[in-house]
Amino acid sequence: MTTKSEVKLLGAWPSPFVLRAKIALNLKSVNYEFHEEIFGSKSQLLLESNPVYKKIHVLIHGDKPICESLIIVHYVDECWSSGPSILPSHPYDRAIARFWATYFDDKLFPTMRSIVGAQGDDERKRLLQEVREGLALVEDAFNKISKGKAYFGGDQIGYLDIAFGSFMGWLRVHEASNGVKFLDQGTTPGLVNWAERFGTHDAVKDVLPETGKLMEFAKFMKAKMAAASAPK
């Protein structure tokens, strides 16, 4: 049994990336200490643990730091045999999972995040449409990868469930903020049902941030950025 002092997670509660590590650790029934990092401030422990990027998120196992969210998920899966396997066992399935995880991080989430800073209504509409088109691709991928089962990982939450599911809170924030519905039964029925199962899973339900709390944080950050960019 791993004690809390042996495993530490450095991160910030609103971040979808730290959520990945939390879910992976929960799936493996690993006890850990969560060290909250404050936005705009970096602890000495963080700077010492990630001297290259100097940012969250970091898993510290014993005295060994592991950085970057998907790398942390890989490490947790390989390091602890307790709980289900997170990564697919077949090399091809692993390659496909890594492809889509990269798509989430390099394309889908950055587009969704860009909506906040959209210059004018036309750009905002274009970005909203890009997110819808991206989610249509994810819907198709889910249907193929899950093979009719509950999750991307089959009968159990797996790598892609964690990679995509970590963004669900922020997806809901953008839906509420823009008066749109990205996931609905008409266009993404598979993802709608998947999201309900994912959000109530034992490894997820206690660490998934509430939409209302995320919205308050988003308003705070937007006001902070506006104040920083205002003419002096």
User: What CA–CA distance (Å, rounded) separates 176 from 192?
Assistant: 16
Read off the pLDDT of residues 101-121 as tens digits, 9 standing for 90 and up. Answer: 999 999 999 999 999 888 899
Read off the pLDDT of residues 146-200 as tens digits, 9 standing for 90 and up. Answer: 999 999 999 999 999 999 999 999 999 999 999 999 999 999 999 999 999 999 9
Asked if 56 contacts 17 with a C-beta cutoff of 8 angstroms, the reply is: yes
User: What CA–CA distance (Å, rounded) separates 25 from 71?
Assistant: 13
Over pLDDT 70: what percentage of the chain?
A: 94
Average pLDDT over every residue of 7-34: 96
pLDDT at 43 exceeding the cut of 70: yes
Q: What pLDDT shows up at residue 222?
A: 76
Query: Torsions phi, psi of 183, nearest 5?
Result: -110, 120
pTM, to two decimals:
0.92
